Amino acid sequence: MMRKAVYPGTFDPVTNGHLDVIKRGSIIFDKLIVSVGCNPLKESLFSVKERMQMIREYVKKLKNVKVDCFDGMLVDYLKKQKTNIILRGIRTVSDFEYEFQRALTNRVLNKEVETVFVMTSEQYSFLNSTLIKEAVCLGGSVSQFVPPDVERRLTQKFKHLYGKKT
């Protein structure tokens, strides 16, 4: 039986930590769908299309990984994708507490849903997209945290939004 999982997230922007989880998930599962979520409670810097493009740049070498997007309930999207497995990356204990609550909520919404947690590699355990955006906005280099194309896009986005040289 083929094992298919969905790795959902906002990926605004995708970081090396996300890419680490994607690569490792592609080894664990026969098919992995990286799905960019549209969360109405979060204001995103990049459009869904832009975020999908950034992820596709990396995953094109991973033949069993597909990039998609969704809005609405994740459990409904899982049904559409004909899977019941969610892949989530965990960096810290606080991540685990938050993700544990989400996993239990998803299981209440659909008792068939299973969440698989993957610990991020230690060099990415402190990374998050908000810190990356803040560093670029303030003129810092994030080349060790994101792929070169993502850093370039961040720099351009902040120049466009704020007219700053970053």
Q: Please indicate whether residue 18 is annotated as part of the active site.
A: yes
Q: Please indicate whether residue 91 is annotated as part of the active site.
A: yes
Q: Pick the catalytic residue: 129, 133, 153, 157?
A: 129
Q: To which residue do tokens 């549209």 refer?
A: 38
List all residues 6 or more positions away from 56 whose beta carbon is below 8 Å from its beta carbon. Answer: 67
Residue-wise pLDDT for 47-88, tens only, equals: 999 999 999 999 999 999 999 999 999 999 999 999 999 999
User: Which domains are seen in the chain, by residue range?
Assistant: 4-124 (3.40.50.620)
Structure tokens given for 79: 């049904």
Nearest residue to 11 (alpha-carbon basis) of 40, 41, 34: 34
Q: Please indicate whether residue 160 is annotated as part of the active site.
A: no
Q: How far apart are CA 29 and CA 85, in angstroms?
A: 10
Q: Please indicate whether residue 121 is annotated as part of the active site.
A: no
Residue-wise pLDDT for 108-150, tens only, equals: 999 999 999 999 899 988 889 999 999 999 989 999 999 999 9
